[in-house]
Amino acid sequence: MSTPMPPMPAGTVKTADGLELPLVDWPLPAGAERRGSILIVHGLGEHIGRYAHVAAALVAAGFAVRGYDQRGFGSAPGPRGAIPRDDALLDDARRMFEAWRDESGERPVLLGHSMGGAVAARACTGGWIAPRALVLSSPAITGRLSGVQKLALRLGRWLAPDRAVPSLLDARRVSRDPAVVADYRSDPRNHALITPRLAQFILDAGPRALADAPQVRVPVLVMIGTADRIVDVAGARAFHDRLPPEMRTLRVYDGFYHELFNEPAADRARALADLQAWLRALPAAAAS
């Protein structure tokens, strides 16, 4: 298993409404063979610092890695769990991608997890980002809300769209590794807040990505666990199935929980090895 690597601060990128979102890099060692670059988009309630071991595996596969804290999460500015308009996270991701593309001189691979998977999938299918390839880890493509929850969201969206409420994300369902769950709960940079506006964006972004999936013209890897109770696995399968056959790869992990790369040691190593192998098999990168 790759040893976690501390991220290197890489400045900030300004959003359309003037927020400075912090960037972090995991660069390739001097003399290493470069196969490309990757931009990581993290999930709901967390921050990019939780991906140090994922970045180490990607660097070991020959990819320079960049990530950022999405607005309202981690060390990023902005109200916790909030967005000012429906497409804010898509526009933020586009700005991050373009900055990394221009700096690296190549189209990066886009990797999104959970909520970040919904952002990445919609950014790719909707024309915000044209990545070299797309990786979706447990993406939030379709919702798991009950009828009562849907009604509450509809009322919240109407009455107080920007008021943060508990996200109800169950940390026990993040991983089967008790140490990961304990770390998740004690991490001061994590939080459990979400606004109705952000919740509605997530619920809308996935189905829109699903509708436009047949238009995708880049390689896509979809990775899901059958015991995921945080996102609807059927939605991720449906997204994969609607992709052009020549562009799609599906990896299904029996019994895995939501965070495939944070499962018990042998299981996370397997998921990371599959990711490395898929990335190494990509066609050679072309200059942007």
Positions annotated as catalytic residues are 114, 228, 258
Whole-Å CA distances, 66 to 10, 33, 109, 219: 9, 17, 10, 20
3-state secondary structure the chain: CCCCCCCEEEEEEECCCCCEEEEEEECCCCCCCCCEEEEEECCCCCCHHHHHHHHHHHHHCCEEEEEECCCCCCCCCCCCCCCCCCCHHHHHHHHHHHHHHHHHCECCEEEEECHHHHHHHHHHHCCCCCCCCEEEECCCCCCCCCHHHHHHHHHHHHHCCCCCEECCCCHHHCCCCHHHHHHHHHCCCCCCEECHHHHHHHHHHHHHHHHHHHHCCCCEEEEEECCCCCCCHHHHHHHHHHCCHHHEEEEEECCCCCCHHHCCHHHHHHHHHHHHHHHHCCCCCCEC
Closest to 13 measured CA to CA, from 117, 129, 103:
103
Torsions phi, psi for 12 (to 5 deg): -140, 165
Rounded distance between C-alpha atoms, residue 202 and residue 140, angstroms: 7
